[in-house]
Amino acid sequence: MKIILYIIILSAYSFGGIAQPTELDKKVEAFLNKHKSTWRDLNVPYEDGKILYELIIKNQYTSALEIGTSTGHSTIWIAWAMSKTGGKVITIEIDKNRHQEAIKNIAEAGLSNYVDARLTNAHELVKQLPGPFDFVFSDPDKAWYKQYFLDVHPKLKPGGCYTTHNVADGLAGDSYYKFVSAHPDYTTTLDRTSRAGVLISYKKK
């Protein structure tokens, strides 16, 4: 039985039924597994990083914006997906130490070519970036969540996805959740895979 199963799996890889992992995939997976239980300092949990990755792959997004890099856990998931779609992510962090640690982590994961990391105040830069974007992940200062959404909204492509972290755990504030959920230009759901929660808002076409 084991021999038959092995032949079936091998045939699927050989004929394109399952995409064989590249050297980059192996490097990223090794990095993520190595640090899976050690991410701290305002990073997303492993489960939420995977959600972001899968959203990008599923919709073939190529122009991403991340507001709040921290030390790069979510950035690595987004950049890994971008390596599959041929895209790139602009990520913004205001804290110098976290920014430098993120640069180091992204490089160790082999994803530097897919990341444009900016050390600056997102309050100012998000307004200035021209876009357009088709994927956004917002996980910065919670009091500014609504303003970031308003600033990015006209730059998000129809069919694009705006994701927000810490919505289920209440850190983002109930008013923000109600505002985005009621926005007529978006279809919004809340993924509760982790305790933090990811708000997933698709801009209507």
Q: How confident is the model at residue 3 (pLDDT cuts 50, 70, 90)?
A: very low
The helix/strand/coil state of 183 is coil
92-106: pLDDT as tens digits = 999 999 999 999 999
Q: How confident is the model at residue 170 (pLDDT cuts 50, 70, 90)?
A: confident
Q: Give the chain's domains with CATH numbers.
A: 21-203 (3.40.50.150)
Decide the pairing of beta strands 133-138 and 88-93: unpaired
30-89: pLDDT as tens digits = 999 888 777 665 678 889 999 999 999 999 999 999 999 999 999 999 999 999 999 999
**Residue 79 in tokens:** 């950049």
Residue ranges with strand state E in the chain: 63-67, 88-93, 115-119, 133-138, 156-165, 186-191, 198-203
Question: Does the structure show a pLDDT above 80 at 153?
Answer: yes
